[in-house]
Amino acid sequence: MLKSLKIQNYALIEDISVDFGQGLTIITGETGAGKSILIGALSLLTGARTDTSVLKDKQKKCVVEGIFDISRYGLKKFFSDNDLDYEYITFIRREISPAGRSRAFINDTPVSLSLVKELTSHLIDIHSQHDNLLLNNPDYQLQVLDAYADNSALLYKYSLEYSKLQTLRRELANLEERAEKEKKDADYYQYQFDQLDNAQLRSDELEELEEEQRRLSHTEEIKNALGQITYLLNNEENSATDMVRQANRAAEQITDFFPRAQELAQRLDSTFIELQDIAAEAEVMFNDIEYDPDRLEAVGQRLDLLYELMHKFSASSIDDLLAKKQDLEQKLLSITSFDEQIKKLQTQVAQQQKTVEQLAAELGKRRNGSKPKFEKEILLLIKDLGMPNAQFEAKIERTELSEHGQETVTFYFSANNKIAPQPITKIASGGELSRLMLAIKYIVSQSRTLPTIIFDEIDIGVSGEIADRMGQLIKKIASRLQVIDITHLPQIAAKADTHLLVYKEEDSNTTTTKIKSLSTEERIEEIAKMLSGERITQAAVEHARLLIAG
């Protein structure tokens, strides 16, 4: 429950602190005094967005802080899941800076606005003056029936499974679209793959072929050079090997008396052997080299093919072509596996749809099962609120699967038994909507554990005895949870456990909204004023005493 509210620099409010107790707190005040400003400030704690226009003093920040007793509402897991310190007495604060920056805190820990909104959705239900229009919203009507049927846990489960179904459907649609596109390209991919596969590529082939082409293109030069090498090393007269042999003999002849020549002789001997090997190898090469125009043409054709493929596939090497071939192979394999993937995903979608339909059927069963009792209770309440001939029906219609299940709900209403019930968007007046909404809030409050409900003039359009009956119903709600009610009606104000008065103070510079808790005598005076206006009569005072006494 809300224990206190502190507001600084918001609209007409300079700095106020308000304490709230259990039961029914009534807030009254003249029109324009600032009662709804309290609701606006409190809405900041429920995640409402705002800007610097709310600042009374544009040079100072706005601060709204609520203190809540959350000890009985099972919120430990929420705090644990969001890495927040759990305290039985929890502080929620919003700050709006002069620069327009908004900050939110839970127990002095900075948090996102969405997190504040999620937490306070478990703590406060604010019914503003315009919320009667929610009754015109089919989604809200469905939410009301679900709240009455206590479907929250089942709805949460359904929502998770429906979300999974939607995800699987999107995956299937994307896969089918991709498969269709890829299959259109399959022939082209196969053509490219076949080109590369038929080429029988080898990683080092290009360099080998280019070297072979150079050799075949210069056969005559190579053969002439090898013949010259062989001749110079091995001809019968003045060959290089013969000269080295003669030098070796000369060195050996002087080794007996010139030992240092021994090393020269050995080196010359080694050189002679090496030259003989070179000459022999050059002769072998000479004999191996033959001009082969057919092979030269074949190598040229092979190189032309490789160059063409490299150009076509924007490759800089054979390895690039091989990588492209592998990529095409994977694409083709992927295309051939699309049918299997699609079939598998279709099975998953069908299974998930079955799960969702089962949960939707259970939701529908609970909704239809709760409908008669819900209608009966609403009728009893609205008849008690001054519409004895009212007719009410929550018409349930089956639809396609949606995020809410397989039903829509439309509230049909008539205040007169001579007029057939029609959707409330077409028939209900403002006062009738107020009474119907209060009846709904009463019934829903019985099934929800929400600690605090705030009514901002839910009694618009009613007066007299009906106002008194609405006050009694609000009082009943306050017996189960904390109710804060802003009202202009003395019949409702008289039901208060705590009565707060909002008023304005003016000086030459500014107008400021204030709030105070009324004593018993001050309550009598305030209610008498609500009955008779600024000039309070003795009859109004006595009437006020009677209203408060009940």
**Does residue 363 fall inside a structural domain?**
no
Q: Give the model's pLDDT for residue 61.
A: 93
Roughly what angle, to the nearest 10 degrees, separates helices 205-217 and 293-312? 140
Among 335, 366, 399, where does a domain finish? 335
Rounded to an integer, the average pLDDT of 117-134 is: 77
**What pLDDT band is residue 169 in, cutting at 50, 70 and 90?**
very high
Mean pLDDT of 281-310: 89
The answer to the question of residue 261 being in a domain is: yes
Residue 63 falls in which region: left (phi positive, over 0), alpha (psi -120 to 50) or beta: beta
Residues 187, 319, single domain; the answer is yes
Residues 500, 516: contact at Cβ < 8 Å?
Answer: yes
What pLDDT, on a 0 to 100 scale, did the predictor assign at position 429?
A: 67
Judge contact between 407 and 398, C-beta under 8 A.
yes
Distance CA 478, CA 178 (A): 59
Same domain? For 484 and 510 the reply is yes
Distance between CA atoms of residues 27 and 467, nearest Å: 16
310-346 burial: b if 16+ Cβ within 10 Å, else e: beebebeebeebeebbeebeebbeebeebeebeeebe
47 and 105 together in one domain: yes
Backbone angles phi, psi at 540, to 5 degrees: -65, -40
User: pLDDT (tens digit, 9 = 90+) per residue, 7-36?
Assistant: 999 988 989 999 999 999 999 988 888 888
493 and 545 in a common domain: no
Q: Do 191 and 319 sit in the same domain of this protein?
A: yes
Of 277, 220, 275, the C-alpha closest to 242 is 275
Burial of 156 (0-12, 13-18, 19+ CB in 10 A): exposed
The residues, any chain, with a CB within 8 Å of residue 397's CB and separated by 6 or more, are 407, 408, 409, 410
Q: What local confidence, expressed as pLDDT, does residue 84 receive?
A: 92
Mean pLDDT across the chain, nearest whole number? Answer: 88
Question: CB neighbours of 28 closer than 8 A, spacing ≥ 6?
Answer: 35, 486, 487, 488, 493, 499, 500, 501, 502, 526, 530
Percent of the chain with pLDDT over 70: 97
Residue 98 shares a structural domain with residue 235? no
Report the alpha-carbon distance of residue 372 to residue 394 in Å, rounded.
9
Least confident of 84-93, 245-254, 346-355: 245-254
Residue 549 phi/psi, 5-degree rounding, is -70, -20
Dist. CA 272–CA 275, nearest whole Å: 5
Query: With a threshold of 0.85, does the pTM exceed it?
Result: no
Tell me whether residue 188 is in a domain.
yes
Give the number of other CB atoms < 10 A from CB of residue 418: 6
Q: What is the DSSP string of 446-469?
A: HH---SEEEEESTTTT--HHHHHH
pLDDT at 197 > cutoff 80: yes
Say what the pLDDT of residue 324 is: 92
What pLDDT shows up at residue 157? Answer: 94
Position 528 scores a pLDDT of: 92
pLDDT surpasses 70 at 91: yes
Given 318, 335, 352, the domain boundary residue is: 335
How does pLDDT run across 299-356, given as a tens digit for each residue? 899 999 999 999 999 999 999 999 999 998 888 877 777 788 889 999 999 999 999 9
| Beta strands 24-28 and 498-506, pairing class | parallel
479 CB-near residues (< 8 Å, 6+ apart): 23
Domain contains 252: yes
Task: Find the mean pLDDT for residues 65-91.
Answer: 91
Same domain, 99 and 191: no
Q: Same structural domain for residues 321 and 186?
A: yes
Q: What is the pLDDT of residue 212?
A: 85
**pLDDT on residue 363:** 95
Residues 270 and 206 in one domain: yes
Paired sense of beta strands 422-423 and 452-456, if any: unpaired
50 pLDDT exceeds 90? no
Lowest average pLDDT, out of 143-152, 157-166, 366-375, 445-454, goes to 445-454
Q: What is the pLDDT of residue 287?
A: 87
Closest CA to 154 of 348, 353, 365: 365
Last residue of a domain, one of 335, 361, 390: 335
Contact 497, 22 (CB under 8 A): yes
Which of 168-182, 237-251, 263-277, 441-455 has the least mean pLDDT? 441-455
Q: Give percent of the chain above pLDDT 90.
A: 44
In one-letter notation, the amino acid at residue 316 is S
If we measure between CA atoms, which residue out of 425, 423, 504, 432 comes closest to residue 462? 432
Number of domains comprising the chain: 3
pLDDT tens digit sequence for 458-517: 887 788 888 888 899 999 989 888 999 999 999 999 999 999 999 988 887 788 899 999
Q: Could you tell me if residue 258 is inside a domain?
A: yes
| 89-96 sheet: strands from edge to edge | 109-111, 102-106, 89-96, 62-69, 2-10, 13-19, 511-517, 498-506, 24-28, 482-486, 452-456, 124-127
Residue pLDDT, tens place only, 505-533: 888 778 889 999 999 999 999 999 988 87
Is residue 505 in some structural domain?
yes
Res 428: pLDDT = 57
Residue 140 is assigned to a structural domain of this protein: no
Give the model's confidence band at 131: pLDDT under 50 very low, under 70 low, under 90 confident, else very high.
Answer: low
Q: Would you say 476 and 485 are in contact if contact means Cβ atoms under 8 Å apart?
A: no
205 and 315 belong to one structural domain: yes
Task: Judge if 195 and 300 occupy the same domain.
Answer: yes
Cα(33)–Cα(491) distance, integer angstroms: 20
Helix-, strand-, coil-residue percentages of the chain, each rounded to 5 = 55, 20, 25
User: Measured between alpha carbons, how far is 2 from 43 in angstroms, rounded to an integer?
Assistant: 13
Say yes or no: 323 and 229 in one domain: yes
* Packed helices 240-253 and 219-234: angle between N→C axes, nearest 10 degrees: 30
At 448, the pLDDT band (50, 70, 90 cuts) reads low
pLDDT at 132: 56
Residues spanned by the domain of 531: 520-550
Most confident of 91-100, 461-470, 541-550: 91-100
CA 107 to chain CA centroid, nearest Å: 26
Can you tell me which residue has the tokens 């929550």? 394
Radius of gyration of the chain (CA): 48
Q: Can you give the pLDDT at residue 357? A: 95
Sheet with strand 405-414: strands edge to edge: 391-402, 405-414, 422-423
pLDDT tens string 395-430: 999 999 999 999 999 999 888 888 888 888 776 567
Is residue 186, in this structure, part of any structural domain at all? yes
> Measured in Å, how far apart are the chain's first and last C-alpha atoms?
26
